[in-house]
Structure 1
Amino acid sequence: MDTAQLPPESVAQCATSMSSRHKSIATIFVWLDGLFAVAAVAMLLDRTRPDWGQLAGGMAFWVGLFTILTVWQLSKARKRTKLAKLAASDLSMRWYLNGKMIVGASQTGAPLPDVSFKITSGLVTVLTAVPRAHVVAG
Structure 2
Amino acid sequence: AMCKIIRGVAKPICDQYVGKYGIESIEFGNLTLGALPPTLQGIKVYEMREKELVIEPVIRWASIANVTVDVKVHSFKLSAQLLDLHVMLTPRVTLKPLVPSFPCFASLCVSLMEKPHVDFGLKL
TM-score by length of 2: 0.29
Which structure features the higher share of strand residues?
Answer: 2
Which structure features the higher share of helix residues?
Answer: 1
**Which has the higher Rg, Structure 1 or Structure 2?**
1
TM-score by length of 1: 0.26
Q: Which has the higher contact order (CA 8 A, sep 6+)?
A: 1
